Chains A and B, each alone.
Chain A
Amino acid sequence: DIVMTQSPLSLSVTPGEPASISCRSSQSLLRRNGYNYLHWYLQKPGQSPQLLIYLGSDRASGVPDRFSGSGSGTDFTLKISRLEAEDVGVYYCMQGLQTPITFGPGTKVDIK
């Protein structure tokens, strides 16, 4: 199975300030088609996970442009340019390269 790791595991951010989360996979998520099969989700308190970023860097429908994803191969980053109160929750990276699909442990983001 592909093992996903994230850092940090928790983050306190002042509103309006940037935030960055790192995700690493135990094997490359880059396919021959040039796409990275790495996706980001946000689970807000009391809610189901929601898709933020797919294929490493494409924002899902309705996701604000303050969210961006980057990286390739085994190292990926999710950046929030200016944190807003509604962004609090747990952020997960997920690999879709092969089954079983696996997730990172999550990064809890709250307001400082």
Chain B
Amino acid sequence: QVQLQQSGPGLVKPSQTLSLTCAISGDTISNNGASWTWIRQSPSRGLEWLGRIYYRSNWYNDYAPFVKSRMTINLDTSKNQFSLQLNSVTPEDTAVYYCTRLIGENWLDPWGQGTLVTVSP
């Protein structure tokens, strides 16, 4: 059974960097059939796909246009985990952030437990 465990701070100051980590158990980050993905959810914008990292003989990233200039997804194969960094945050970045696995370039399952990140002074 695949499980994703998120960690990271719940409060970030404006203009600083939001950092979250997702630890994978029950699967390997280099699984050719999976993409490791970040989603966020807010009352005003609903569920938003942010980006992913995946292995297809090489490592690739794919980001949503609206965060592409500020976002980086990294990985640590030795710890079987991936991370999100979102730079220059504003209160608009306040949301619940989820890590999840995209299966077969298609559906998302499972999801991490979610982390509420508040951007405030």
Chain A contact residues, CB within 8 Å of chain B = 37, 39, 41, 48-51, 54-55, 60, 92, 94, 96, 99-103, 105-106
Contacts and interface: CB of A to CB of B under 8 A. Distances in A.
A48 B62 CA distance: 23
A55 B64 contact: no
B2 to A, nearest CB: 11
- For A41, A94, A99, the residue with the greatest tally of chain B CB atoms inside 10 Å of its CB is A99
Q: Chain A's interface: helix, strand, loop or mixed, by majority? A: loop
Interface string B28-53: 00000000010000000011110010
Contact of B108 (A39, A55, A99, A100): A39
Contacts of B108: 39, 41, 49, 51, 94, 96, 101
Contacts of B106: 37, 39, 54-55, 96
A35 B62 CA distance: 23
Nearest to A97: B106
A54 B107 contact: yes
B113 interface: yes
B111 A103 contact: no
Contacts of B102: 96, 101
Nearest to B105: A96
Given A96-B102, A101-B49, A103-B46, A51 B62 contact: no
Contact of B109 (A37, A51, A101, A105): A51
Contacts of B109: 50-51, 54, 60
A60 B105 CA distance: 16
B121 interface: no
A101 to B, nearest CB: 4
Nearest to A39: B107
B111 A94 contact: no
B82 interface: no
Contacts of A105: 46
A99 B47 CA distance: 14
Contacts of A48: 98, 111-114
A48 B115 CA distance: 10
